[in-house]
């Protein structure tokens, strides 16, 4: 059966700083809400307060960690304690690269609060897929000097457009049978005294792609890595490491991060429809150069979101 996708897809930028927090930016934390599901991608310190400020609530279905630098996971400890205090009973899965098992064990040992839920560890590697209802999260390898992963949230294909006029021509009366066809079910109708079957393919157009979000975490550019580029191409939103502006390109290479211009190059090469610059170093009082550097390399929409910004991802035309 084909599922009709119509869920909202929101990205909350709860923390956009690189390495160190600043008065304006918290360490890395993205909250993506797809329909009724809420996923955290990285969980830097202060994540709970950002969730309160953004009024997202604390209903988290899963946590995905990109790598084991502290600015990407320190917020998990407090979040787990708060969820226990609030009476959570559902398990909390934490996904990440190798060492996620040791990390979850540490979370369990540090906590002295009696929890009514389990925290479970799930090791991912390049190409690993985590299925959800109507979409998946797929991991890909990043280039940051330690084992690290980026993530692709991609929806299932949507049904093609329903041809109402054609359905009526085939004898399908407007009403519940229209809905059954759109859900992928065959229906039977009586036409000229003869019962015939009408299949979804008779009245539905070609399937349409769902939406796709790519979050690179901390990394050097990846578009020249064939096995990685194939997974992250064609994103509706590419959230890319842009720790430095282009004046610090040597520094970016030394510490295995990316510049804003390199993020723009990646967005162009990967056919992204929008680029969000992420993980901004605390050395910058102004990010005007970041935007300028990215736009020199990429003709699409470039944003450098402030903390607590929220972006709705629309369906493609």
Lookup result for tokens 């708060």: 82
Contact 78, 50 (CB under 8 A): no
Neighbours of 172 (CB within 10 A): 21
Any binding-site annotation on 292?
Answer: no
CA 32 to chain centre: 6
Any binding-site annotation on 67?
Answer: yes
Q: How many helices (H) and strands (E) does the chain have?
A: 10, 18
> Residue 303 is inside which H or E element, if any?
strand 301-303
Any binding-site annotation on 241?
Answer: no
Any binding-site annotation on 12?
Answer: no
What residues pair up with 132 in beta bridges, in sequence order?
Answer: 135
Contact 111, 104 (CB under 8 A): no
Quickly list DSSP for 47-97.
Answer: HHHHHHHHT--S--SEEE--BS-GGGTTHHHHHHHHHHHTT--S-EEEEES
What does each C-alpha distance from 17 to 14, 121, 167, 222, 233 come to in angstroms?
10, 26, 53, 21, 25
What does each C-alpha distance from 314 to 3, 163, 200 come to in angstroms?
18, 22, 25
Neighbours of 260 (CB within 10 A): 32
From the list 37, 42, 71, 90, the catalytic residue is 71
Any binding-site annotation on 69?
Answer: yes
Residue 192 among the catalytic residues: no
- Output the known binding site: 67, 69, 71-72, 144, 218, 279
Please state the residue numbers annotated as binding site for Zn(2+): 67, 69, 71-72, 144, 218, 279
Residues annotated as part of the active site? 71
């Amino acid at each position: 059966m084909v599922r009709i996708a119509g869920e909202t897809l929101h990205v909350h930028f709860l923390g956009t700083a690189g390495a160190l927090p600043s008065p304006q930016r918290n360490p890395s934390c993205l909250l993506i809400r797809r329909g009724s599901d809420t996923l955290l991608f990285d969980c830097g310190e202060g994540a709970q307060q950002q969730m309160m400020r953004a009024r997202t609530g604390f209903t988290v279905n899963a946590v995905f960690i990109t790598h084991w630098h502290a600015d990407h996971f320190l917020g998990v400890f407090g979040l787990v304690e708060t969820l226990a205090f609030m009476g959570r009973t559902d398990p909390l899965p934490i996904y990440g690269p190798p060492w996620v098992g040791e990390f979850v064990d540490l979370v369990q040992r540090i906590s002295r609060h009696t929890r009514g839920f389990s925290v479970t560890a799930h090791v991912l590697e390049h190409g690993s897929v985590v299925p959800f209802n109507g979409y998946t999260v797929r991991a890909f390898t990043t280039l940051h000097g330690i084992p690290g992963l980026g993530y692709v949230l991609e929806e299932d294909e949507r049904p093609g457009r329903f041809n109402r006029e054609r359905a009526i021509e085939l004898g399908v009366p407007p009403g519940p049978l229209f809905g059954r066809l759109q859900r992928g079910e065959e229906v039977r109708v009586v036409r000229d005294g003869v019962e015939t079957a009408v299949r979804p393919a008779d009245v539905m157009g070609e399937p349409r792609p769902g939406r796709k979000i790519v979050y690179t975490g901390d990394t050097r550019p990846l578009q020249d890595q064939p096995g990685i580029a194939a997974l992250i191409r064609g994103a509706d939103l590419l959230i890319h490491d842009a720790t430095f502006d282009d004046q610090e390109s040597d520094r970016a290479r030394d510490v295995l991060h990316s510049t804003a211009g390199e993020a723009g190059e990646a967005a162009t090469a990967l056919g992204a429809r929008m680029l969000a610059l992420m993980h901004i170093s605390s050395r910058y009082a102004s990010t005007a150069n970041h935007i300028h550097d990215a736009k020199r390399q990429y003709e699409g929409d470039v944003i450098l979101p402030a903390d607590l910004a929220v972006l709705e991802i629309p369906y493609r035309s």
